Amino acid sequence: MKIAIASGKGGTGKTTLSVNLTAWIREIADRPVMLVDLDVEEPNTGMFLEGTVIERSVRYRKIPRWKQETCILSGECAGVCMYNAIAFLGNSVMVFPELCHGCYACSDLCPSHSLPMVDDRIGEVTLYQASLPGSRKVFPWIEGRLDIGREMATPMIARTIRYAEDHGERSQIILFDAPPGTSCPMMEAAKRSDYLLLVAEPTRFGLHDLGLAVKTLKELGKPFAVVVNKDDPAITLIDDFCATEEIRIVARIPHLREAAGIYAGGGLLYGKIPEVRREMEKVYRHILEISEETKTG
């Protein structure tokens, strides 16, 4: 089962939940689990994990390359491109790779086959064997990383997910640390997931961004629940919203000074803070529930 851990904005504790939940599932529940860092523009799960590199693999997308020698300047390609990624300049055709969405339309419709699709490097995927401090248990951890200077994260996210699917097992829980926000990168991760956990902080900004994320997932028709991070029982902003929207809150990671210190040192919280350990178990139980419902439903 593929579960994306997402949020309407960055800095809500998405990666904290991703790494702590993965490590808890592997160490305490003793279940096979894989962690995939899909925040390809700024992957940061490595701040909390140590691992041995198993494989590095370059990822490519396809873009058209103009073949001047066969081109008859029909104009089909520029006319069909919805993204203005092709332009005529005098007697030549220019392709703007940073605008190209790789839809193949220009290549397929060119009457003289003068725009063959070719590989274009966009980034690198690394497969690690992650180890846990004081434990012999290990788990696969995948990091997608977009090359510096690349604008489009979505193709890299799609290729990182495909790589994870190729390297995962059917019985395994696969956790995606999704990119923040509600634009194309987050939607790509959401579309390719079976279920989502939205991490939200009980602040006005947190509520606003949770509202955007909820709207996005409802439009995509994806099932989801909420995990409150930095929970404060005196602030009910997220609770009130979730009650109105009939959204389940599955866990609450408490707002503790001790947690901030461990986080700043790159440590895992569940091993040192019993309240966090208890909440990781709640999230895991919820994953088992929805996994059963998916099988029977």
Which residues of the shown chain bind ligand SF4 in the complex (CB under 6 A)? 64, 80-81, 83, 85-86, 95, 100-106
Enter the tokens of residue 200. Answer: 């939200």
> In angstroms, what is the minimal distance from the CB of 92 to ligand SF4?
15
Strands 33-37 and 249-254: unpaired
> In angstroms, what is the minimal distance from the CB of 158 to ligand SF4?
15
Say if residues 77 and 86 touch (Cβ distance below 8 Å).
yes
Angstrom distance (rounded) from CA 42 to CA 179: 9
Residue closer to ligand SF4, measured from CB, 85 or 238? 85
**Counting every residue, how long is the chain?**
297
Enter the tokens of residue 172. Answer: 């395994």
> In angstroms, what is the minimal distance from the CB of 97 to ligand SF4?
8
Residue closer to ligand SF4, measured from CB, 57 or 84? 84
| Residue closest to 183 by CA, chosen among 220, 146, 148, 149 | 220
Residue closer to ligand SF4, measured from CB, 96 or 205? 96
> In angstroms, what is the minimal distance from the CB of 59 to ligand SF4?
18
> In angstroms, what is the minimal distance from the CB of 108 to ligand SF4?
9
Residue closer to ligand SF4, measured from CB, 23 or 71? 71
Angle made by CA atoms 271, 272, 274, in degrees to the nearest 5: 90
| Matching residue, tokens 């028709």 | 221
Angstrom distance (rounded) from CA 208 to CA 226: 14
> In angstroms, what is the minimal distance from the CB of 17 to ligand SF4?
36
Residue closer to ligand SF4, measured from CB, 79 or 233? 79
Residue closer to ligand SF4, measured from CB, 87 or 256? 87
Radius of gyration from C-alpha coordinates of the chain = 22
Residue closer to ligand SF4, measured from CB, 105 or 187? 105
> In angstroms, what is the minimal distance from the CB of 80 to ligand SF4?
6
Say if residues 137 and 27 touch (Cβ distance below 8 Å).
yes
Enter the tokens of residue 229. Answer: 């991070």
Say if residues 215 and 9 touch (Cβ distance below 8 Å).
no
Enter the tokens of residue 272. Answer: 């040192």
